[in-house]
Structure 1
Amino acid sequence: MPRDTNQEENWLEPGALPGKGDAAARGRLQRALGALEARLLAERGRLPLWLPVALGGGILLYFALRFEPSAGWRWAAPALLALAWLAGRRHPHLGWAIGLPAAAALGIAVASWHTARQPPPLEPPRGAAVVMGTVQSVDLLPEGRRVTLFPVRFGPEAAPAARPVRLRLRAGDPARPEPGDLVRVRALVRPPSPPAQPGAWDFQRAAYFAGPGASGFAIGPAAVEPGDQGPPLLAGLRGAIEARVGRALPGAAGAVSAALLTGGVSAIPAADLAAMRDSGLAHLLSVSGLHIAIVMGVAFATARLPLSLWPWLSLRVPGKAAAGVAALAAGAFYLLLTGAQVPMQRSFATAALATLAILSGRRALGLRSLAVAAAAVMLLQPAQILGPSFQMSFAAVLALIVGLEALRPAMARLRGEGGWWRRGLVAVAGLVATSVLATIATTPFGLHHFGRLQWYGVAANAVAVPLTSVLVMPAGMLAAALMPLGLEGWPLWAMGRGVEGVLLVARWVASWPGAATMAPPLPAGGLALLALGALWLCLWRTGWRWWGLAGVAAGLAMMVTARPPDILVSGDARLIAVRTGEGVFVQRQPGASALVRETWLRGWTEAAASPMPRDSAVDGGRLACVPNLCTLRRDGAVVALLLRGAPAGEACGRAPLLLSPEPLRGHCRAGPGGSVVIDRFTVWREGAQAVWLAADGPRVLSDRAFRGQRPWVPPVPRPRASGEPMAETE
């Protein structure tokens, strides 16, 4: 009897013979597993690249939790890693499959361990206090100075605080503190600010891992005394370099030059910072891969030149190895001098691996060296994965490695026989391709963190990057080398002329129509989908890499589909904003934070906001105000009331939501016949509030509910007891 192939192929349909379908299912499963195994064999060299991705996924999962995970995760990771290693010895694919969750568990364990070893957050005085401490570093500002103090005390009798404190001295203060000095000043000090709204950037989390426990400003003159110990070596050297550069190059050019040499950008005028940002040149101010590549490259060439010119020495000393060691030493010194920021950590790790590869005769830069550098940074500072610096720097380098590898055949055809004009054309094409790839890779992260698009960055970088590489940084390195001899004058002059050219390009490009435009911020979930899709596209080699485009498209779609809040209330209730069809209307009280307001507008993609109407209606009557009350309507129904002096008892129950910058003291109750209340007590306990209005009532999300109970989130505040002092005094 002939075999019924059609019956077997359609075994899921009703009437299929028993047993036939099971065999067909097993066959299909075997074929699918065989195809997957063949695919993984073809991608065998790319499998280890996913282990740092899983490590980062575990770290992100840790920070996304609303509670602190058990310390058992720290023991689960080594066990899973050992199991993955044992399984991988006989079955590499099985070892890799176990290695992914093992790396994720390691990410959770490392992040948890780093959190546990941080000192507790500070609780500075609520009012003015005498702050006493040792200067660790001094930052030059456009007006005045900012000092970082540690150890520090809030009053003569207080115990030393566990974290540093940053203070901005008065603009006209004649004091000139240096690292190592003792400073005594009366100041107002505040802990790090909470997020501007639920889900916004968490300043308290960033400060918890970065070190500073509080910041503030002086309200009196600073008294400076020499310290018992000398200044920290690099802090003193950094201050001396900034002082010499400032004397030789006054103004914005000097501030930018000092930033390129020492990493401090605080002295750059705000207008020039904005021009660099809007022109797409802000990355030049963040000391990173370009700068350390120039430093190490110049050091390599400078060290190798004498060896090549002295035959006797070149025959006895391996020139490439000696120059490589010199380049690594120069890069490490530059890393420490500029504060070991995350882009520099990534760049130095990558450059060190590239130098070691050159010395061993291997390929200088590739995906594996980038993966090792990423894993090293995440293991040393896991919280940095949440910041734009980490995300944008690694995304740019990944895009450059993969993109330029794909463009290599086209570049080879363009080079042809190697005529001078073809070599120049290849150089220009490579510069443009580098700028385009880096811009494409970093734009999604810029949208998530800043909500802005710079449209002419390629044109600005085409001029500014070569100028920085050929003139600015080499002249700056020469000036730093000649400073001990007092001969830095003419190299600094050359560096200043190059910086002025960069600033000229930045100002010119920033003035072009539409140079920088606001865009809807990319939600965190959309950024995660997009990043995963981009990694899938870049890390695989075979045809299934194109599946990553689906993740990229899904992430971008969330930017359009995500619905921003309709109402926002700041953590001190001094700002209450309502989004309407005619724009954003804000009620502002004295002392309200301008940063919070700007963050809200950026999230709503609005350039400006209007004051809340005093005695009129806007948006077709959907927002109507009288002197003591504003009414918000949707589809003709009252959905919210903003009290500005109206009695709470009369307003209760008239709307599903009541807003008030003052305490309502329990006049209204939630539930049937009541109202959801957001007043000053609410935000004092729960932080900033976001409200989405819907037909079934308002959906309210508080900052405390979003962040949960984490070590960097302050506990629910308690009222000050009667007679409790506001601050330590002299």
Structure 2
Amino acid sequence: MVSNAATMVDFEPPALTGGAALQHRPWISQSHLSRSLAGVERFLSNSGFARAPWLTVAFGTGIIAWFSLAQSEAWAGVCVVCVLIAVFSRTRQNELSRFPYIGRAIFALSLMVLAGCLTIWTRSEIIGQAAISRPVTGLFTARVLEREQQPALERVRLVLALRYPESRRAIKVRMNVPASWVGDRVASGTLIRFHGRLSPPASAMFPGGYDFARSAWFSGFSATGRITSPVEILASGSGGNWIARQRLALSKHINRQLPGSGGGIAAALTTGDMGAIGKDDAQAMRDAGLAHLLSISGLHVSAAIGCIYFLVLRSLALFPAIALRVRLPILAAVMGALAGIGYTLLSGSQVPTVRSCLSALLVLAALALGRQALSMRLLAAAAFLVLLIWPESLIGPSFQMSFAAVMVLVALSDSAPIKHWLAPRDEAILTKALRSFALMLVMGIAIEAALMPIGMYHFHRAGFYGAFANLLAIPLTTLIVMPLVALALALDVVGLGAPVWWLAHHAVDALLEIARWVAAQPGAVKVMPRMGEWHFMLFVVGGLWLCLVQSLARLWGLAAIAAGYLGLMMIQAPDVMISGNGRHVAWIDPVSERLVTLRDSSSDYALDNIMESAGVLDDPELMRSNPQAKCNEDFCKVALKDGYSTRHLLIARGDLPVPEDALARACARSDIVIAHRRLPTTCRPKWLKVDRRMLDRTGGVTIDLKNRRLTSVAETQGDHGWWRNGVLKQVQH
């Protein structure tokens, strides 16, 4: 008989499990279904499954189902199916009593999938704000909600509450303004007036690309844009809350002490403000696998909390009168928790930081209670708590990378080879140091292997030397850079921080040099075209199975991971890419294999999206300079070879009207016609016409010429709120 306490944690085996119980029921072998269920039951009973992690996985599965399915009818269908499965497992208790593992798993997992789907659906309806219907230019009056300094880009980013002229509601918008047009008086609470341009948040430019409209939906933004005139202050504000003012002042102070990207990195480690980091240095950090150091998350919060916990515990232990009367681990945990909460508030309380703080607080609670500091159950509880509050974070790279890294660490720490490697033994100090270094290298490589598919899926690029770079960068950051910056800030109170700032300057420069050197090595960065969702799911399923299953059956996860890598080797870039507004068209030259674009984009965002979707690093060449294209002021004719055949493309360049009869003849000779404006019905190409009328329905598209297959952004959007305004959300420049 299994106790209730046990069933809340693990799938504990019943008195008779697996084959021993089934041998006393010979009639089961008469049914193939019963034999299959018996095999599953034996597997579950012998695999040592922990219940909490799989319940969290099921909760996340419900969230993924909501994002993956396009129609609200499908979301409702998932909920109904989960309810029916749960009801079935309860009404068939007698039949399932022979398979207690299966019965409990069916009931619990189905309810958790249901809970996940309902949680994200509810949050979308409550938090999501509809985007404006079209771009608007005019004179606006708004209240400043937040201010973010971006000195590296010579601009300031403002979050405003603005009354939209075409409705009676106030909307939340994000605006960029040149730094010279706003002074220090423009702070939170200030009422301002300005000329500007508002646009709906941009949907993914190409299938599989970054969907800012989705992020804006869950952040409450209805529009983004830029301010096109100096800001006029109508009424001064309070400057926001005290913490926001201190955070802004602290960032400015750090940037004055450490100019350039060094100050930006120091400010990012302290307040989470990355606006002063130069573009090239930020890219070098990403290519070297060190971008996680720039975003305050688990590493930084854990370092701050761990430092306070250790200092309080060790210092108070020196006083017997306190040590004999107070439980020092509890007191140290309380002080560490206060330090973590304070650090989170000072750094702006961004979602990744709050998520890391919550996870660290759970670890402190485990330490205070004398439990294991970090385990899969604790990690699952932290992930569940985060997903319950921010379910949309599951599909973001920050959540996936942070929890994947910790999960790999926990799985390795619990494995028999690592426990044997860490077992106490009588050996020289140098041998112990080499053993520790080897362990750090193994764990670094394992973490990079886990994070690489995530980076490939979200960013279409990954660094190959991140494990080696992190071996140097993480100790340098946590043991030298962060303490030096904290000490310098403390000494600045009495005006003695200059020598420490000098040391911090050289430490941060060393960190940047590591990033630049690693990123510059041959083969340091691998880029690839868009990874399919099924490829990514192979990595996810394989990784979860490998880390969460306790028996040798965990090695089955390697098969799924290997299949994922095999799939990556077969991915090819799309032949033609067309943005949602039709103005950005690109293709791969079959002769030179270079990326070719229709026009020289003035937007880094557009160019980056094109290069990511194509999976290339080299800057593209212009279509008018390519030998495969013949261009005039109005159109370009391109001949692309597709195996043994040739596809003829007609691509619009200009905005001037073209005689309809001449256009009709040109369309008739072309396989595909692409234009950013509406084309007349007399334009009838042999295969496909991609004009404004079509792009309004599909958004950005990619074309596979060989298989005559078209993939669009709209395929996975459906009834999700961020897609309701259609293609007007696309980038216009």
Q: TM-score range with shorter-chain normalisation?
A: 0.7 to 0.9
Contact 1:342–1:390 (Cα < 8 Å) also in 2: no
Q: Secondary structure at the match of 1:142?
A: helix
Cα deviation, residue 395, structure 1 = 1.1
1:664 is matched with 679
Contact 2:457–2:530 (Cα < 8 Å) also in 1: yes
Q: Secondary structure at the match of 1:147?
A: strand
Distance (whole Å) between structure 2 residues aligned to residue 681 and residue 594 of structure 1: 27
Summarize the alignment of residues 16-415 of structure 1 with structure 2, pairs less than 5 Å apart: 26=30, 32-69=36-73, 91-123=100-132, 126-153=136-163, 159=168, 161-163=170-172, 165-173=173-181, 175-176=183-184, 177-224=186-233, 227-406=236-415, 407-412=417-422
2:510 is matched with 501
2:705 is matched with 693
Distance (whole Å) between structure 2 residues aligned to residue 68 and residue 399 of structure 1: 36
Contact 1:134–1:182 (Cα < 8 Å) also in 2: yes
Q: Which residue identity lines up with residue 373 of structure 1 in the other structure?
A: A
User: Which residue, 435, 445, 453 being the options, matches 1:436?
Assistant: 445
Contact 1:138–1:178 (Cα < 8 Å) also in 2: no
Identical columns (%): 29
Q: Which residue identity lines up with residue 598 of structure 2 in the other structure?
A: R
Contact 1:292–1:334 (Cα < 8 Å) also in 2: yes
Distance (whole Å) between structure 2 residues aligned to residue 686 and residue 536 of structure 1: 37
Contact 1:642–1:659 (Cα < 8 Å) also in 2: yes
Distance (whole Å) between structure 2 residues aligned to residue 501 and residue 585 of structure 1: 36
Distance (whole Å) between structure 1 residues aligned to residue 346 and residue 85 of structure 2: 39
2:564 is matched with 555
Q: Does 1:630 align with 2:640?
A: no
2:620 is matched with 609
Q: Which residue identity lines up with residue 159 of structure 2 in the other structure?
A: L
1:18 is matched with none
Distance (whole Å) between structure 2 residues aligned to residue 377 and residue 84 of structure 1: 29
Contact 1:342–1:389 (Cα < 8 Å) also in 2: no
Q: Which residue identity lines up with residue 619 of structure 2 in the other structure?
A: A
2:731 is matched with none
Deviations 1:212-259 (A, max 9, x none): 332222211123466454512332221121122122222221111000
Q: Which residue identity lines up with residue 709 of structure 1 in the other structure?
A: D
1:462 is matched with 471
1:15 is matched with none
Distance (whole Å) between structure 2 residues aligned to residue 153 and residue 638 of structure 1: 50
Q: Normalised by the size of structure 2, how large is the TM-score? A: 0.85
Q: Secondary structure at the match of 2:723?
A: coil
Cα RMSD after superposing both structures = 3.2
User: Residues 485 and 60 from structure 1, CA distance in 2 versus in 1: closer, same or farther, beyond 3 angstroms?
Assistant: farther
Q: Secondary structure at the match of 1:379?
A: helix
Contact 1:570–1:689 (Cα < 8 Å) also in 2: yes
Distance (whole Å) between structure 2 residues aligned to residue 564 and residue 61 of structure 1: 27
1:677 is matched with 689
Cα deviation, residue 326, structure 1 = 0.8
Contact 1:84–1:99 (Cα < 8 Å) also in 2: no
Contact 1:185–1:221 (Cα < 8 Å) also in 2: yes
Q: Secondary structure at the match of 1:175?
A: coil
Deviations 1:598-630 (A, max 9, x none): 22222222223222146x743xxxx66677441
Q: Secondary structure at the match of 2:326?
A: coil
Q: Secondary structure at the match of 2:431?
A: helix
Deviations 1:658-703 (A, max 9, x none): 2234432222358xxx6521123432453222222247xx433332
Cα deviation, residue 584, structure 1 = 4.5
2:664 is matched with 649
Q: Which residue identity lines up with residue 299 of structure 1 in the other structure?
A: I
Summarize the alignment of residues 570-609 of structure 1 with structure 2, pairs less than 5 Å apart: 570-582=579-591, 583-584=593-594, 586-589=596-599, 593-606=603-616, 607-609=618-620
Cα deviation, residue 545, structure 1 = 1.5
Deviations 1:632-654 (A, max 9, x none): 35434545333556832112333
Deviations 1:70-125 (A, max 9, x none): 66877987897799799799845412222112211111100100011024223175
Deviations 1:407-427 (A, max 9, x none): 4234236x6215322332233
Distance (whole Å) between structure 2 residues aligned to residue 555 and residue 642 of structure 1: 36
Q: Secondary structure at the match of 2:580?
A: coil
Aligned residues: 684
Contact 1:175–1:224 (Cα < 8 Å) also in 2: no
Q: Which residue identity lines up with residue 676 of structure 1 in the other structure?
A: L
Q: Does 1:424 align with 2:428?
A: no
Cα deviation, residue 589, structure 1 = 4.3
Q: Secondary structure at the match of 2:295?
A: coil
Structure 2, gaps ≥5 residues long = 1-25, 729-733
1:703 is matched with 713
Cα deviation, residue 45, structure 1 = 4.2
Contact 1:110–1:379 (Cα < 8 Å) also in 2: yes
Q: Secondary structure at the match of 2:136?
A: coil
User: Residues 694 and 436 from structure 1, CA distance in 2 versus in 1: closer, same or farther, beyond 3 angstroms?
Assistant: closer
Deviations 1:249-287 (A, max 9, x none): 222211110000111212211121122112221111121
Cα deviation, residue 656, structure 1 = 3.5
Distance (whole Å) between structure 1 residues aligned to residue 700 and residue 362 of structure 2: 45
Contact 1:135–1:150 (Cα < 8 Å) also in 2: yes
Q: Secondary structure at the match of 1:213?
A: strand
User: Residues 213 and 542 from structure 1, CA distance in 2 versus in 1: closer, same or farther, beyond 3 angstroms?
Assistant: same
Distance (whole Å) between structure 2 residues aligned to residue 377 and residue 625 of structure 1: 53
Distance (whole Å) between structure 2 residues aligned to residue 118 and residue 323 of structure 1: 37
Contact 2:701–2:710 (Cα < 8 Å) also in 1: yes
Q: Normalised by the size of structure 1, how large is the TM-score? A: 0.86
User: Residues 54 and 667 from structure 1, CA distance in 2 versus in 1: closer, same or farther, beyond 3 angstroms?
Assistant: same
User: Residues 700 and 507 from structure 1, CA distance in 2 versus in 1: closer, same or farther, beyond 3 angstroms?
Assistant: closer
Q: Secondary structure at the match of 1:683?
A: helix
User: Residues 186 and 408 from structure 1, CA distance in 2 versus in 1: closer, same or farther, beyond 3 angstroms?
Assistant: same
Once structures 1 and 2 are overlaid, which stretch shifts more, 360-369 or 166-175?
166-175
1:514 is matched with 523
Structure 1, gaps ≥5 residues long = 1-21, 719-730
Distance (whole Å) between structure 2 residues aligned to residue 309 and residue 331 of structure 1: 24
Q: Secondary structure at the match of 1:652?
A: helix
